Amino acid sequence: MDILRASLVLFIGIYFMSGCVDAAYFNVMRYGAAGNGKKDDSEAFLKAWEDTCGAEEPSVMVIPSGRTFLVKPMTFSGPCNSGSTYIQIFGKVIAPEMSSWNDDDDKSWLVFDSINGLTIHGPGQIDGRGSSWWKCRMDHKCSRAPTAFVANNCNHLKIIGVYFVDAPMFHIVINGCDRVAISNIHITAPEESMNTDGIHVGNSRNVYIDHSIIATGDDCISIGDNSSYVFISEITCGPGHGISIGSLGADKSSAAVEMIRVSHCTFIKTMNGARIKTWQGGSGYARNIKFENIYFDSVDNPIIIDQYYCNGDHNCGTHKSAVKVSDVIFKGLRGTSTKEVAINLACSKTVGCTDITLEHIQVKHIEREKNTISNCINAHGISQGPVSPPVPCLS
């Protein structure tokens, strides 16, 4: 699998470079970058980006191999003059130590704003050096930490073959983007690292995420509010909290999520597998969602709809309103659960979940002598084909 993945990345890289034969190249070393992992290379990066973005022809900002570049929080701003702008990462980009951050810039590290036609290509590494941040949050000495990579309002965005490591909080956030392709990336952080989601998609549409390996301390991929036409496939997730729709409806907000497809994914020793999570008191909808052809290996909660989600940071209470969950299909899901309850459909008592379909499901307990069961609260729909464990509330 690793050889196949490496070959695919190499092929994409050759294809990428062949498409840039007539491009203008801007190597950060020519702008004064030291690349020794100690000197601040932020100014060199921004100068190289200014020329890259300002070029009239297709342009490539090059971060060369064999070097480590220390850069402070920065924003790569658009729009750019060319509709084809590339960042080729061969080397390693590292964040400052936590002690070097200012109070005003602790929300994000690398921000890409309003750039259309941007491609960021590996096989280099983006290292958030988040261990100090995780400890600070675990010790309740700080309440938040920076996201490593943020794309705001970037249409026709591609991220290919990049390695993301140890973000202080989220690794990648896609916000307000249309037509995004993320492929053949690796995201890695320790299982105990707090809120280190792999990829979070919000306020975006036409997002494709495939052929990637994600191992973090939170959701491998999470789909937030105002997202639609999100297609996720061939993801290996674990450790982590699974692939989640949500959380939606926090602080009595209204959600709008639809046309989500998750297929041909593998979950290994994750807390959750295929999950939809909403807060009490919210409104709006999550609909037209399909989880298909998924394999679970020792997953705590393989299939779960949780309309009573509360992460402990809020005074959740009990509320009558809820995000409406409907038209959800779980099809061809199989594997093993570490817990007795392998299917948990906990829907709002007042709003409920409708048009829920379970088809060809087989989730066994990891211990062969034990059986799995389902839990079902106010979920309505159908169960067809063999479904194990059975879900009596679905006809």
Please say whether the beta carbons of 260 and 291 come within 8 A. no
> Looking at the domain assignment, is residue 52 inside a domain?
no
> Looking at the domain assignment, is residue 44 inside a domain?
no
User: What is the span of the domain harbouring residue 264?
Assistant: 74-388
* Intra-chain end-to-end CA distance of the chain, in Å: 40
Radius of gyration for the alpha carbons in the chain, expressed in angstroms and rounded? 22
From residue 180, alpha-carbon distances to 21, 160, 201, 295, 365 in Å are: 24, 11, 10, 26, 37
Tens of pLDDT, residue by residue over 62-86, are 999 999 999 999 999 999 999 999 9
What is the number of other CB atoms lying within 10 angstroms of the CB of residue 290?
A: 16
> Looking at the domain assignment, is residue 319 inside a domain?
yes
Q: Which amino acid is at 177?
A: C
CATH number of the domain enclosing 241 = 2.160.20.10
- Better-predicted residue by pLDDT, 223 or 250: 223
Q: What would the DSSP string read from start to end of 147-175? A: EEEEEES-SSEEEES-EEE--SS-SEEEE
> Looking at the domain assignment, is residue 139 inside a domain?
yes
Tens of pLDDT, residue by residue over 123-168, are 999 999 999 999 999 999 988 899 999 999 999 999 999 999 999 9
> Looking at the domain assignment, is residue 214 inside a domain?
yes
> Looking at the domain assignment, is residue 65 inside a domain?
no
H or E element that contains 53: helix 42-54
Across all residues in the chain, what is the average pLDDT? 93
Query: What residues are paired with 180 via a beta bridge?
Result: 157, 207
> Looking at the domain assignment, is residue 56 inside a domain?
no
Active site residues: 241
Say how far apart CA 91 and CA 62 lie, in whole Å: 9
Q: What is the pTM for the complete model shown?
A: 0.93
Our count of domains for the chain comes to 1
Percentage of the chain surpassing pLDDT 70?
A: 92
Say how far apart CA 188 and CA 185 lie, in whole Å: 10
> Looking at the domain assignment, is residue 265 inside a domain?
yes
Distance of CA 190 to the CA centre of its chain: 16
